[in-house]
Amino acid sequence: MSLDLRTMMLMISVLTLLLSGLLALAGLHAGSIRGVRLWALASLCYSLASFIAFADMTPTSSAWLIVLGAVLVMAGNGLQFSGIQAFKEQRIDWRIPLLIVGVVFAQSVWFTLLYPDASARAIANSLVFALINALCARALLIRIEPPLRTAYWFTGASFAVLAAASLIRAATIFHAPPGTFVGLFSQVPFVPARFLASSLILMCVTFGFILMLNYRLITDMQKIALHDGLTGALNRRGLEEEAIRLSAHCNRKGDTLAIMMIDVDHFKLINDRNGHQLGDKVLQRLAAVAQASVRSDDYFARYGGEEFCILLPSTTEEEARVLADRLRQAYAALTMEFGGEVLRSTISIGVADSIHVGLEFSALVSAADQAMYWAKQKGRNRVVAHSVMVCNVPEIVTI
């Protein structure tokens, strides 16, 4: 069965136009995710290039339309490269896509209008196309955490295939007998099949980006679900999920796990005197101090109300007590100014570890909570270790 090149071009043009619309709509709802609109514009460029080729597909095609089609394809590729940079939260370097488009425009004008040579034009443009696709593949074939890794590698592999196909095309045309290649309108049988395969790979690239966007949205939704909106810390659900994972890890490795329970002293009085908005700012300041104090592998969370919790892997109770006292002093030294009013606040902290109470999360929380309330009873603005509290208050053991 022969392949009708005109029909394929029309279908590819319509499909890429639909993908462009889909990406444009996704960009409206993608929130802070960058790069989506650039990929929508890239698909639009591909659609216009295919439509131009379909509308003027004759051996005597307008030379300027041939140049415009090549420039649109390369502009689409350049927008994809910039879209990848934006998606990865990198600064967009517009020099690369602008240089690529400029080179393709110059060589297309040279080999189409000034010194017409379809073979030379195809070889030159194929080499540039291979280069920009290789750059896109290199930007995506990187080490990254799943599930984004699957989408990154699928899209990167599609770019790599496109780069390889462009190099093969350039080599094939270069080694072909003189006069065999006359551009898109060649009667060589494999040209339509090759065009179809390249178009399908281009669609795989766009599909891969949609996968990247989908996984990023899922990841962002998970972060929102597991983090406290006021302070940015983990919420209770997020903390419990991390605790399950850490407990299993510590049990497997024979490692220790410590915990801090933190409570703002006289927080109700702060709210009653100054209002809940100022109380929220106090919690935000405490969260900022705590997040600056914890280590990179610790887990800081808002447990509820004015209570916060920190999980400390590979940490003993005494080590946790030292870290807690450092946090207590840092917060106590903080002077907060709100609307011209100066406010100072303190915290009470209870600490416990798996050596004394076991690895069960609820037992760790209960032990640290008891120590924290004992710190409040002893005058607040202090750190109490659960094992020390038990030695001083024997009846706690039975609770």
Q: Is 120 helix (H, G, I), strand (E, B) or coil?
A: helix
Residues 336 and 313 both lie in one domain: yes
Residues 261 and 363 both lie in one domain: yes
373 exposure class (CB count in 10 Å sphere: 0-12, 13-18, 19+): middle
Number of domains in the chain: 2
DSSP state of 179: T
Better-predicted residue by pLDDT, 187 or 127: 127
pLDDT at 221 over 80: yes
The boundaries of the domain holding residue 362 are 236-398
What CA–CA distance (Å, rounded) separates 301 from 299? 7
Residues 212 and 244 both lie in one domain: no
Q: In the prediction, which pLDDT does 100 show?
A: 93
What interhelical angle do 118-140 and 95-109 show, nearest 10? 170
Residues 70 and 195 both lie in one domain: yes
What CA–CA distance (Å, rounded) separates 393 from 390? 5
Q: Closest by alpha carbon to 53, among 205, 197, 183, 193?
A: 183
In a domain? residue 90: yes
Which tokens sit at 267? 């927080």
Contact 141, 160 (CB under 8 A): yes
In a domain? residue 132: yes
Q: In the prediction, which pLDDT does 4 show?
A: 66
The CA-based dihedral angle spanning residues 229, 230, 233, 234, taken in that order and rounded to the nearest 10 degrees:
-40
The residues with which 385 forms a beta bridge, in sequence order, are 351
**pLDDT, tens digit, for every residue of 256-309?**
999 999 999 999 998 888 888 888 999 999 999 999 988 889 999 999 889 999
Tell me whether residue 360 is one of the annotated catalytic residues: no
Residues 52 and 198 both lie in one domain: yes
What CA–CA distance (Å, rounded) separates 270 from 379? 17
Q: Closest by alpha carbon to 50, among 21, 17, 12?
A: 12
Domain end residue (candidates: 226, 255, 272): 226
**Domain containing 294 — which CATH number?**
3.30.70.270
The residues with which 311 forms a beta bridge, in sequence order, are 259, 299
Helices and strands (DSSP H and E) totals, the chain: 14, 7
**pLDDT, tens digit, for every residue of 6-34?**
777 778 788 888 888 888 888 887 777 89
Residues 242 and 338 both lie in one domain: yes
Residues 138 and 157 both lie in one domain: yes
Inter-CA distances, 80 with 41, 87, 124, 208, Å = 9, 10, 20, 12
Whether residue 178 has a cis bond before it, omega within 30° of 0: no
In a domain? residue 287: yes
In a domain? residue 231: no
Instruction: Output the DSSP codes for 51-103.
Output: HHHHHT-STT--HHHHHHHHHHHHHHHHHHHHHHHHHTTPPP-THHHHHHHHH
End-to-end CA distance of the chain: 82
In a domain? residue 288: yes
Better-predicted residue by pLDDT, 133 or 189: 133
Residues 191 and 112 both lie in one domain: yes
Residues 212 and 321 both lie in one domain: no
Better-predicted residue by pLDDT, 198 or 372: 372
In a domain? residue 346: yes
Q: In the prediction, which pLDDT does 134 show?
A: 96
Residues 32 and 85 both lie in one domain: yes
In a domain? residue 194: yes
In a domain? residue 243: yes
pLDDT at 205 over 60: yes
pLDDT at 223 over 70: yes
Instruction: Output the DSSP codes for 288-300.
Output: HHHHHHS-TT-EE
Q: Closest by alpha carbon to 205, among 59, 15, 3?
A: 15
389 exposure class (CB count in 10 Å sphere: 0-12, 13-18, 19+): buried
What CA–CA distance (Å, rounded) separates 299 from 291? 9
Domain end residue (candidates: 192, 226, 260): 226
Residues 246 and 140 both lie in one domain: no
Residues 276 and 250 both lie in one domain: yes
pLDDT at 159 over 70: yes
Q: In the prediction, which pLDDT does 180 show?
A: 60
pLDDT at 238 over 70: yes
CA atoms within 13 A on the CB side of 360: 5
pLDDT at 109 over 80: yes
CA atoms within 13 A on the CB side of 365: 16
Q: Closest by alpha carbon to 201, among 125, 136, 127, 149?
A: 136
Choosing from 89, 241, 306, 318, the catalytic residue is: 306
Mean pLDDT for all residues in the chain: 86
Query: What average pLDDT does range 140-151 have in this prediction?
Result: 88
Residue 238's contacts (CB-CB under 8 Å, 6 or more residues apart) are: 225, 226, 227, 301
